[in-house]
């Protein structure tokens, strides 16, 4: 799949890698889960910031633990560290996160910013390693392990020996501090801390960093979960845990990313850079366009019905807003028009018209929280998921894909939601095999951000729309 070829360039923990994404997954349960470890979880309270001791990857090592050379374990596969260490696959991205800091590109970035060597710089280690304070580093902890087990699952000092004891249960482990990553909201909160940013120390990529050479930040929860999965989930996994389907994870990822984006944007310590707004919140490719003094040159700018702004104004990155609008049209039609208007008001506020930015942003956060509740109560049936897909690919919504980031999210949504229906046995893989060529054309249209071809994307989406109708 072409997605792993281009999208991972934008991941904060990885500069360049290629790989594939399998469409075939185990069937999952639809019901969402609420767990005690999710309580109190915030963007600033995650495995890196909750004050728990991290024992290090070696605490999980051993042939009777997670470092077998073959997946022969009974309860879990027990080869998870081998998967995490795989240098040939996207599954090894979190291990490589630290190694990236040793490259010439990384050294060039910190040099331009006047910072220390990247592998010593807290600004970099905040996302490229399990960067807990020294007092929270156990005896076998190593910073050069990169994004290790505890960076996602939580500091293990309280549950390490308990989680493999006779009679251990997932609920007991969670009560001791293991993060319930099978819960989409918990997973999104943890992942977004690096893959979008947080207000915690050293977890926010700025426009200055990108100008110095850092990759653009990009994220989609269900897809990135599959690309960077460190373990294979067997039937036993689903017996022990309640797991939401892929469509649910996709929708929770969209709403969580928007909420995080807006809350960071509302933070006065992060939303300004001197006299300018912090431009990392805005749509890079909407501004970074060719310009010329040739009298015959004309700007290649198309009108966008979702954000009717005058040329020359910076455009807020609204990709998650567009995907959520498509979701609301199906699962919360009574809220869809209000959400659409709130998006327009937010863009208008940035241009100096309508409500203030603070009021407009607060309204969007309120509506996204209401949408999150609707998402949690939705089982994402075949008809619901097809209706969301239909909205994503229709001409009305496609006209909002004037810029790269929304187009990127659109083609990811098509692939992710089709995958979720296959995994849930709502459709067979053979039902969509002849859609692969058009999906790949969509990926080709967004493969190179500076060469985004909206006409090619919209043409591919048009063909996909006709095929989607045949699936009903």
Q: Are residues 366 and 465 in the same domain?
A: yes
Backbone dihedral region for residue 380 (phi beyond 0: left; psi -120 to 50: alpha; all else: beta): left
- pLDDT tens-digit readout, 413-452: 999 999 999 989 999 999 899 899 999 999 999 999 888 9
Range of the domain at 108: 3-244
pLDDT at 16: 31
Picking from 7-16, 52-61, 270-279, which range would have the lowest pLDDT averaged per residue?
7-16
Question: Is 249 within a domain?
Answer: no
pTM (2 d.p.): 0.88
Q: Are residues 320 and 219 in the same domain?
A: no
pLDDT at 442: 95
Question: Is 122 within a domain?
Answer: yes
Query: Which of 225, 244, 263 represents a domain boundary (last residue)?
Result: 244
338-358 average pLDDT score: 92
Cβ-based neighbours of 167, under 8 Å, separated by 6 or more: none
Question: Is 266 within a domain?
Answer: no
Residue 391, CA distances (Å) to 322, 324, 364 in order: 10, 11, 20
CA dist 150 and 52 (Å) reads: 10
Q: In sequence order, what are the beta bridge partners of 277?
A: 272
Total structural domains within the chain = 2
Picking from 110-119, 161-170, 234-243, which range would have the lowest pLDDT averaged per residue?
234-243
Whether the predicted pLDDT of 78 surpasses 90: no
Question: Is 254 within a domain?
Answer: no
Question: Is 100 within a domain?
Answer: yes
Whether the predicted pLDDT of 6 surpasses 50: no
Whether the predicted pLDDT of 8 surpasses 50: no
Question: Is 144 within a domain?
Answer: yes
Q: Are residues 229 and 304 in the same domain?
A: no
Question: Is 35 within a domain?
Answer: yes
Whether the predicted pLDDT of 406 surpasses 50: yes
Residue 310, CA distances (Å) to 28, 304, 322, 441 in order: 46, 10, 20, 31
The enclosing domain of 184 has a CATH number of: 1.10.1130
Q: Are residues 387 and 433 in the same domain?
A: yes
Confidence of residue 13 (pLDDT cuts 50, 70, 90): very low
252-277 average pLDDT score: 94
CA dist 161 and 172 (Å) reads: 12
Whether the predicted pLDDT of 195 surpasses 80: yes
pLDDT at 300: 77
CA dist 214 and 9 (Å) reads: 10
25-51 average pLDDT score: 56
Q: Are residues 167 and 220 in the same domain?
A: yes
Residue 295, CA distances (Å) to 298, 299, 301, 310, 312 in order: 8, 11, 17, 21, 19
Query: Could you give the percent of the chain with pLDDT greater than 70?
Result: 89
Confidence of residue 42 (pLDDT cuts 50, 70, 90): low
- pLDDT tens-digit readout, 102-143: 999 999 999 999 999 999 999 999 999 999 999 999 999 999
Contact 345, 306 (CB under 8 A): no
Q: Are residues 337 and 442 in the same domain?
A: yes
- Please list, residue by residue across 3-25, b when 16 or more beta carbons sit within 10 angstroms of its beta carbon and e when fewer do: bbebbbebbbbbbebebebebeb
Q: Are residues 277 and 422 in the same domain?
A: yes
pLDDT at 11: 36
Q: Are residues 117 and 201 in the same domain?
A: yes
Q: Are residues 459 and 380 in the same domain?
A: yes
CA dist 344 and 325 (Å) reads: 12
Q: Are residues 344 and 395 in the same domain?
A: yes
């Amino acid at each position: 799949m072409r997605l792993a070829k281009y999208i991972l360039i934008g991941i904060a923990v990885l500069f360049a890698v290629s790989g594939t994404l399998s469409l075939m997954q185990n069937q999952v349960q639809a019901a969402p889960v609420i767990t005690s470890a999710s309580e109190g979880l915030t963007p600033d309270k995650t495995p890196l910031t909750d004050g728990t001791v991290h024992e290090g990857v070696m605490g999980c090592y051993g042939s009777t633990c997670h470092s077998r050379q073959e997946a022969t374990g009974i309860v879990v596969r027990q080869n998870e560290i081998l998967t995490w260490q795989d240098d040939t696959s996207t599954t090894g991205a979190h291990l490589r996160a630290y190694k990236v800091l040793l490259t010439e590109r990384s050294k060039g970035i910190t040099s331009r910013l006047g910072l220390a060597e990247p592998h010593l710089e807290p600004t970099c280690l905040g996302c490229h390693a399990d960067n807990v304070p020294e007092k929270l580093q156990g005896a076998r902890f190593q910073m050069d392990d990169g994004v290790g087990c505890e960076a996602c699952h939580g500091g293990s000092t309280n549950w390490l020996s308990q989680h493999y004891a006779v009679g251990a249960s997932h609920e007991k482990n969670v009560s001791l501090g293991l993060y319930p990553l099978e819960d989409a909201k918990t997973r999104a909160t943890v992942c977004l801390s690096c893959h979008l940013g947080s207000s915690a120390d050293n977890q926010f990529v700025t426009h200055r960093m990108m100008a110095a050479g850092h990759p653009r930040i990009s994220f989609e929860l269900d897809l990135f979960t599959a690309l960077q999965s460190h373990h294979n989930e067997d039937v036993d996994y689903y017996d022990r845990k309640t797991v939401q389907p892929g469509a649910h994870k996709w929708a929770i990822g969209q709403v969580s990313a928007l909420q995080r984006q807006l809350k960071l944007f509302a933070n006065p310590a992060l939303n300004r850079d001197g006299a300018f707004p912090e431009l990392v919140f805005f749509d890079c490719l909407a501004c970074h366009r060719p310009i010329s003094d040739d009298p015959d040159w004309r700007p290649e700018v198309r009108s966008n019905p979702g954000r009717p702004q005058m040329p020359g104004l910076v455009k807020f990155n609204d990709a998650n807003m567009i995907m959520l609008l498509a979701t609301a049209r199906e699962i919360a039609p009574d809220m869809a028009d209000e959400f659409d208007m709130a998006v327009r008001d937010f863009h208008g506020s940035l241009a100096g018209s309508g409500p203030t930015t603070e009021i407009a942003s607060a309204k969007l956060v309120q509506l996204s929280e209401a949408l999150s509740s609707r998402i949690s109560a939705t089982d994402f049936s075949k008809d619901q998921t097809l209706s969301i897909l239909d909205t994503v690919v229709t001409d009305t919504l496609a006209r909002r894909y004037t810029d790269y980031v929304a187009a990127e999210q659109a083609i990811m949504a098509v692939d992710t939601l089709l995958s979720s229906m296959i995994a849930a046995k709502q459709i067979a893989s053979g039902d969509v095999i002849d859609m692969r060529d058009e999906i790949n054309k969509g990926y080709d249209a967004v493969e190179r951000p500076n060469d985004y071809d909206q006409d090619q994307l919209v043409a591919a989406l048009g063909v996909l729309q006709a095929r989607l109708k045949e699936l009903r």
